Amino acid sequence: MLVLGLESSCDESSVAIVGDRQGIIAQKIHSQFDAHRPYGGVVPEIAARHHIEIMPMLVQQVLQESGFSLSKFNAIAATAGPGLLGGLMVSSVMAKAMALSAGIPFLAINHLEAHALTPRLVTHTPQVNSSSTSKPLQFPYLLLLISGGHCQIVCVNGVGNYQTLATTLDDAVGEAFDKTAKLLGLGFPGGPFVEKAAQKSQNPHRFSLPRPMVGNKAGGKKPSGNFSFSGLKAAVRRQVEDFPRDENGRLYPEDSYDMALAFELAVVDIMINRLEFALNPKHHPLKAYQALVVAGGVGSNQRLRNALVQFAHQRNLDFIAPPPMLCADNAAMIAWAGIERLSIKPDLKDDFAFKARPRWPLAEMTELI
């Protein structure tokens, strides 16, 4: 089975060709960081304009590279939500037009489902799995989905069958990384810059930051497994405001390095604590989880990955993390989600009238029968 996938829900334009057995046959990813950097965040209108210019070229490139024509595909899959509406419309309209002209099905893919199923792309296709000894990942598994727009712990029971065990009450963890980077005068997008700065710190104990929601039984409140990052963000801001600055108004490097590390350590503690909560049978019935998996851009963070490996090991769980290129937004995961859906329902096709959905929680997905 062969699927052409299109992704343009945020600031990555990407097109990929994926086969059920061959894995990723071709993939192009164009990140728009340079266009958004002057604004310190993604500007939806600019993102949509770039997708319109770039996506057709990427389609051309993967078709040329693979030598395939449109009629070769079993379907064309596009991210139809959640995400920025302008960008979602670009992929949806292009995929519908190509599917219509080639007489093949159009598939509207939920971006979060695509992130959630990526670990199976990694373990099911030998090419992507070349460096790993993992066996094909089976359901159910516990997913930590951490990106710029989402922060969730999800029990993945099957394709289309997701149970959200925890979510964020305010910001996504990626947003907190991006905000911290901005406060520290580091680059955009913030995650990789915070990570690099933290690696240079020699003082893990210099700053203390809160771990919101961790052990939140105070005041007789019912314990909650959710996340919250606004308090952590505010604590970084308050402390950074008091940092000395040089004659150009810039922070001194050591201060940013030490604060970046304090922030990363707080995030790691929060993640581990929330996973402990989710796996505590007092809070959720324990399932026969096949693995702990991480997905989403923040899943590229090496300190966090190391902590997750150790946590999974202590719990006798396999740990699966897609390579960083497949943790961040990419079209291979969209095509793979299409393959997973078609494998269950070979005659599946979505309506050409399908409307892009800026909001599309995983909980609203239904199992395909």
Residues that bind ligand KG4 (CB under 6 A): 10, 147-149, 174, 177-178, 189-192, 195, 296-298, 300-301, 328-329
Q: Is 265 helix (H, G, I), strand (E, B) or coil?
A: helix
Query: Which of the choices ligand KG4, Zn ion, none does residue 322 contact, using the CB cut-off of 5 to 8 A by kind?
Result: none
Residue 79 beta carbon to Zn ion: minimum distance, rounded to whole angstroms: 9
Note whether 132 and 120 are within 8 A (CB): no
Query: Which of the choices Zn ion, ligand KG4, none does residue 174 contact, using the CB cut-off of 5 to 8 A by kind?
Result: ligand KG4
Spatial CB neighbours of 363, under 8 Å, sequence gap ≥ 6 = 162, 163, 164
10 Å CB burial of residue 301 (0-12, 13-18, 19+) is buried
Query: Which of the choices ligand KG4, Zn ion, none does residue 308 contact, using the CB cut-off of 5 to 8 A by kind?
Result: none
Q: Which stretch binds Zn ion (CB under 5 A): 140-148, 188-196, 232-240, 252-260?
A: 140-148
Residue 329 beta carbon to ligand KG4: minimum distance, rounded to whole angstroms: 4
From CA 120, how far away is CA 320, in angstroms rounded?
A: 9
Spatial CB neighbours of 287, under 8 Å, sequence gap ≥ 6 = 140, 142, 155, 157
Look at strands 151-158 and 161-166 and give their pairing.
antiparallel
329 lies in the site for Zn ion, by CB under 5 A = yes
Note whether 143 and 150 are within 8 A (CB): no
Query: Which of the choices ligand KG4, Zn ion, none does residue 350 contact, using the CB cut-off of 5 to 8 A by kind?
Result: none
81/191 with CB nearer ligand KG4: 191
Spatial CB neighbours of 159, under 8 Å, sequence gap ≥ 6 = 113, 117, 340, 341, 343, 344, 367, 368
Per CB under 5 A, contacts with Zn ion among 153-182 are none
**Residue 152, amino acid:** Q
Q: Which stretch binds Zn ion (CB under 5 A): 168-176, 209-217, 250-258, 326-334?
A: 326-334
Size of the site for Zn ion (CB under 5 A): 2
Per CB under 5 A, contacts with Zn ion among 268-307 are none
104/356 with CB nearer ligand KG4: 356
Residue 195 beta carbon to ligand KG4: minimum distance, rounded to whole angstroms: 4
Q: Which stretch binds Zn ion (CB under 5 A): 44-52, 142-150, 228-236, 310-318?
A: 142-150
**Backbone phi, psi, residue 107, to 5°:** -120, 125
Query: Which of the choices Zn ion, ligand KG4, none does residue 125 contact, using the CB cut-off of 5 to 8 A by kind?
Result: none
From CA 208, how far away is CA 269, in angstroms rounded?
A: 13
Task: Please provide the DSSP assignment of 14-73 as one string.
Answer: EEEEEETTTEEEEEEEEE-HHHHGGGTS--HHHHHHHHHHHHHHHHHHHHHHHT--GGG-
177/319 with CB nearer ligand KG4: 177
74/228 with CB nearer ligand KG4: 228
10 Å CB burial of residue 361 (0-12, 13-18, 19+) is middle
Query: For the chain, how far is it from start to end, CA to CA, in angstroms?
Result: 19
Residue 77 beta carbon to ligand KG4: minimum distance, rounded to whole angstroms: 17
Q: Which of 13, 14, 74, 147 binds Zn ion (CB under 5 A)?
A: 147
Residue 132 beta carbon to ligand KG4: minimum distance, rounded to whole angstroms: 20
Residue 298 beta carbon to Zn ion: minimum distance, rounded to whole angstroms: 10
Q: Looking at 103-185, list the stretches that DSSP marks H as alpha helix, in order from N- to C-terminal side.
A: 111-124, 173-183
Query: Which of the choices Zn ion, ligand KG4, none does residue 201 contact, using the CB cut-off of 5 to 8 A by kind?
Result: none
Residue 147 beta carbon to Zn ion: minimum distance, rounded to whole angstroms: 4
Spatial CB neighbours of 247, under 8 Å, sequence gap ≥ 6 = none
10/137 with CB nearer ligand KG4: 10
260/279 with CB nearer ligand KG4: 260
Footprint of Zn ion on this chain (CB under 5 A)? 147, 329
